[in-house]
Structure 1
Amino acid sequence: MPKRPHRPLPLGTPAGVEVLTKILTQGPIPRVQIARRTGLSQAAVTKAVAPLVEAGFVTDHPAETEDGTEVRAELGIGRPVSPLTVVPDSISVIGLKVTPTDLIGVTTDFKAGIRAVRHQQLADKSPDSVLERLAELATELMATLHDKTDPAGPLIGVGVAVSGDVDAVHGVVRDSPFMGWRDVPVAALLGEKLKVPVIVSNDVRALTVAEHWFGVGVDADSFAVVTIGSGVGCGLYINGEVVSGAHGVSGELGHLPLAPGDLVCTCGRRGCVETVASSDAILARIRETTGRPELDLAGAIELAHEGDAHAREAFDRAGEVIGSALAAMVNLVGPQLVVIAGEGVADYDLYDQRMRQAFAEHAFGAAGDCTLMLRSHTFDDWARGAAATVIRSYVRGEPPLHR
């Protein structure tokens, strides 16, 4: 059986979890501000922080900016204080992202800062082969933690991000059309190989956790992350939590039936957003309409930028459907911000205008005030998201990282 993390956090109460979460996501932060933001007394904050400082997870030593300047805060009476911050190297985490063609792995510190990166190509995407390769990749990353020239904290767990329907509670990939997997107990099988706790998550939800704890979502009341690539995914942060759904499925924007019904999706259903708006669908459409089957995505983008009518039509069609899907999602849940992300989304300025037009046409009332932000992500960011899910479970004491 996988071992428990050998660096347990000294958190005995919900107040302690809340305090550490504030320090981790909003630090450096003075005790008095933690008290204000949590509603706890300063005495309760001090009581929760003391064992964390003693164990080396948190420090009140002055932090430094990149230029070496100390970060200090001021109390209302003008007296400088040393804010609390997490000690990044107090623990280490491994994050793994699985795609049909590649495995991407990173090691991170307690603040989800990436320390090491490894990429491997996949020739076989069968579960047995991928799990064996994941174990090899994780083992290789574990070895980097023992580099004496760049010491890292103890490893507390491994996160795995996979597309599709993932039962995160039991660590089972129930259905991943891109991988061709059904009911694969990834956490149990990989945990047995590595002898460390393993957390398996839907990849978009993992990316949303990273944005919630360490990105744009830190100061947002609500937000959504919409990812556009080989598929179209959506993660939601609403009412103080990343939405998982009663059955582990939520935010499946790519499978809203807003596209023509004659188009068959990789999931087997008809008319899904992905049949028009995914990068694969856009490329397929341009190859078909131009009669150029040799085109790759970069060539298709270049063709559209040159003004080719067929290529422009494919991107306009994608923008229309994405904008309509975004409006439907925003009308339903009302997020403050939508981050539109993906490996090459910054290159997709071709559909940005049409997407925003369609969104404005279909967003109801004040929902149209939702901010749409384009933001490029790399596969390293997806792997970092998997690591962020481990950090969150570690702080909260959730299985398999229970204290």
Structure 2
Amino acid sequence: MPLRPHRSLPLATPAGVEVLTRILTQGPIPRVEIARRTGLSQAAVTKAVAPLIEAGFVTDQPATPAEAESQLGIGRPVSPLTVVRNSISVIGLKVTPTALIGVTTDFTAGILTVRHRPLDDTTPAVVIEQLAELAKELMEAADATTGPLIGIGVAVSGDVDARHGLVRHSPLMGWRDVAVADLMAKHLKVPVVVTNDVRALTVAEHWFGVGVDADSFAVVTIGSGIGCGLYINGEVVSGAYGVSGELGHLPLAPGDLVCTCGRRGCVETVASSDAILARARETTGRRRLDLAGAIKLAHEGDKHAREAFDRAGEVIGSALAAMVNLVGPELVVIAGEGVAEYDLYEERMRQAFQAHAFGAAGKGRLMLRSHTFDDWARGAAATVIRSYVRGEPPLQR
């Protein structure tokens, strides 16, 4: 697979970036509609689109017979614009304590290839080497229809400095100050974008998912950790220091519980899958119980197992209320690997949410959206696509 596109994106102005973003995230879309949504003149839209079409990144999609018929007698038929999916490709990698997940996507973050690798050693050097091997495996799997590779996205939980490709602190991985981008560069001569995994998932939802038409939304992930990504005022929130939306570390749980981050009373000490399992083991007396077994017991009505999920739901609902009281998103997407047991804590969660959400903030919709680890890797790829379109480091045009 080629390491870079045969030509760079011909985007010389902010208007060009805006136009391509609209086509990419909302296409197929007519020029007149792009003009309406961006406030640009149709002439400006045409000027921005022309070099993209010439370079093979965008194409006119012929109007359907029904569309053409509906436009008869009112001027030239509209030909919606759409991106050429295979004009580029991207690799997205998701890091977990037990596995590495990799995908290759097209320009619209559509998944082309998937690879999984088990992980039994979270030492940074070992993980980086295996990430590089996984990326090479995905490159070798490319065929003639796969577009030229523009970059690799790596999604990791925790405090991530995306600008410098540095994982400052990932409690789940046991990492501190790991220069992922620089270490990957020793194995692969490809631009690498490193980001917080929940923020990557939020970018994917913003550009290619439920957030495309939303004015504001939040993605809350429930699983080994509790995360939150925020899309507010036209942008996914990164925070001044690269930290934002850390719902799992709000101090809403009992103060005697110690979190993996080293602090006390974090939401994750009650609501993460590990915390729920630990509580179920403690209250049922079944020390060898696994999470699937705890879920089964709770579904069967075991009061001790149910208590673990009820307690988690109470704290998650309170955390959601705190978040909507602060930023007021119109939609909250609840996602992640922990949604399999969502029904066990949903009622208590919604009760706590309604009890603590202030005024009209409580009108925000709560939507369940199941995600696999492949989707998390796709989110990493989406961050590369966004950086490529915007000309952000390390993908400057």
For residues 143 and 168 of structure 1, do their structure 2 counterparts lie closer, same or farther at Cα, with a shift above 3 Å needed?
same
Q: Which runs of 4+ in 1 moved over 4 A?
A: 3-6, 69-76
Match of 1:366 among 360, 370, 387: 360
**For the structure 1 residues 298 and 109, does the alpha-carbon distance in structure 2 shift closer, same or farther, using more than 3 Å as the test?**
same
Q: Secondary structure at the match of 1:225?
A: strand
Q: 1:84 aligns with which of 81, 84, 90?
A: 81
SS at match of 1:194: coil
Aligned counterpart, 1:298: 292
For the 8 Å contact 1:72–1:83, the answer to whether it is kept is no
Structure 2 CA distance for partners of 1:160 and 1:188, relative to 1, 3 Å: same
Aligned equivalents of 2:129, 2:67: Cα separation in 1: 45
Q: Does 1:242 align with 2:231?
A: no
Deviations 1:72-98 (A, max 9, x none): 796694863110000100000000000
| Cα distance in structure 1, aligned partners of 2:67 and 2:263 | 54
Query: Which residue is equivalent to 2:214?
Result: 220
Deviation sequence 1:190-212 (CA, Å, 0-9, x none)? 02311000000000000000000
Alignment CA distance shift 1:63-1:230 (3 Å)? farther
2:54 is aligned to 54
Give the aligned partner of residue 127 of structure 2.
130
Residues 315 and 350 in structure 1, CA contact (< 8 A), matched pair in contact too: yes
Whether the 8 Å contact between 1:346 and 1:375 is mirrored in structure 2 is no
User: In the alignment, what sits opposite 2:252?
Assistant: 258
| 1:251–1:74 distance in 2 versus 1, CA, 3 Å | farther
Residue 99 of structure 1 pairs with residue 93 of structure 2: no
CA drift of 1:380 comes to: 0.1
Q: CA deviation at 1:312?
A: 0.7
CA RMSD of the aligned region, Å? Answer: 1.7
Query: Equivalent residue for 1:17?
Result: 17
| 1:3-402 equivalent positions in 2, closer than 5 A | 7-62=7-62, 77=74, 80-145=77-142, 147-148=143-144, 151-402=145-396
Residue 75 to residue 179, structure 1, CA distance change in 2 (3 Å)? farther
Work out the CA distance in 1 between the residues paired with 2:334 and 2:135. 29
**Residue 61 of structure 1, CA deviation:** 2.8
Query: What is the deviation of 1:7?
Result: 3.6
What is the distance in 1 between the residues matched to 2:229 and 2:92?
Answer: 18
Deviation at 1:374, TM superposition (A): 1.1
Which deviates more from structure 2 when the two are superposed, residues 257-266 or residues 286-295? 286-295
Q: Deviations over 1:52-81 (max 9, x none)?
A: 0011100003388xxxx9987966948631
In structure 1, what is the Cα distance between the partners aligned to 2:231 and 2:307?
33
Q: Work out the percentage of aligned pairs sharing the same amino acid.
A: 83
Per-residue Cα deviation, 1:164-189 (whole angstroms, up to 9, x for no partner): 00000000000001111111110111
Shift of 1:311: 0.7
Q: Distance in 1 between matches of 2:66 and 2:263?
A: 57
| CA distance in 2: counterparts of 1:400 and 1:307, whole angstroms | 53
Can you list the C-alpha shifts for 1:128-161, whole angstroms capped at 9, x where unaligned?
A: 000000000000001112x24xx11000000000
Q: Take 1:82 and 1:192, find their aligned partners in 2: how far apart are those partners?
A: 46
Find the residue that maps to 2:383 and give its secondary structure: helix
| 3-state SS in 2 of match to 1:159 | strand
Counterpart of 1:108, as a letter, is T
In structure 2, what is the Cα distance between the partners aligned to 1:86 and 1:136? 30
Supply the distance in 1 between the matched residues of 2:77 and 2:57 (Cα, whole angstroms).
23
Distance in 2 separating the partners of 1:139 and 1:71: 44
Deviations 1:268-290 (A, max 9, x none): 00000000001110011001110
Whether the 8 Å contact between 2:328 and 2:361 is mirrored in structure 1 is yes
User: 1:323, 1:117 → 2: CA distance?
Assistant: 34
Q: Number of paired residues?
A: 394
- Aligned letter for 2:337? E
TM-score, normalised by the number of residues in structure 1 = 0.95
TM-score (norm. length: structure 2) = 0.96
One-letter amino acid of the structure 2 residue matched with residue 164 of structure 1: G
* Structure 2 residues not aligned, in runs of 5+: none
- Tell me the alpha carbon deviations over residues 309-330 of structure 1, each in whole angstroms, 9 at most, x when there is no partner: 0011111100000000000000
